Amino acid sequence: MTTEPQTDAVAHKDGWFSHPVLSLLLAASWLALSHSLAPVHLLSALLIGLIVPRLLRPFLAPVSRIHWAPVLRLMVVVLRDIVMSNIAVARLVLGPMSRPRPAWLPVPLACDHARVNALFASIITTTPGTVSCVIDEQRHLILVHALDCDDAQTMIDDMKARYEAPLLAIFGQTPVERNPS
């Protein structure tokens, strides 16, 4: 008796609904494109939502467990920061003779989780006044351009506390201790 069937059973344990968010998005997209809730379209949406993720499974990363309470808190923080940053950038750009102080900020990454780091960079870019330019995986940092920065370390600490820490909680990651090099 070989161990391959057990390995396959573990690998396919989550079955046909292995990527539920993708399945729901595909089904909803099909219904939106068909402009109909007729039974044939509902059945088509169900089949597309089940079959397409199953066919793409070798190309999809494993699903990460998400803690939803920090997701909601992070959404509120990010939306508030977007509004407040828009106002600050507008004042800076449209203000009388204002002098922005641009800066490049090396923001160290607390973990190697690809989704956490990609979402962290995306949130930074979404907030007006900052743009994440590169995720440097070898040096474990994100290089961020800030339109106006009077204290680089305070801005870095603020980004890490407001965005990265909640992302770590959402994906159940713990910060990695790194030796400064």
Tokens of 87: 């106002």
Note whether 146 and 106 are within 8 A (CB).
no
Identify the residue with better confidence: 21 or 43: 43
Note whether 46 and 24 are within 8 A (CB).
no
| Residue 149: φ, ψ to 5° | -140, 115
* Whole-angstrom distance, CA of residue 123 vs CA of residue 168: 14
How buried is residue 116: exposed, middle or buried, by Cβ count under 10 Å (0-12/13-18/19+)?
A: buried
- pLDDT of 9 reads 33
- pLDDT of 136 reads 93
- pLDDT of 58 reads 87
* Whole-angstrom distance, CA of residue 85 vs CA of residue 146: 12
Q: What is the pTM of this model?
A: 0.75
**For residues 80-101, average pLDDT:** 90
Tokens of 153: 């370390």
**Short-list 52, 63, 71, CA closest to 123:** 71
Q: pLDDT category, 180, cuts 50, 70, 90? A: low
pLDDT tens for each residue of 108-144: 999 999 999 999 999 999 999 999 889 999 999 999 9
For the chain, the first-to-last Cα distance in angstroms comes to 51
Q: pLDDT category, 146, cuts 50, 70, 90? A: very high
**For residues 54-80, average pLDDT:** 90
* Whole-angstrom distance, CA of residue 175 vs CA of residue 161: 12
pLDDT at 181 over 70: no
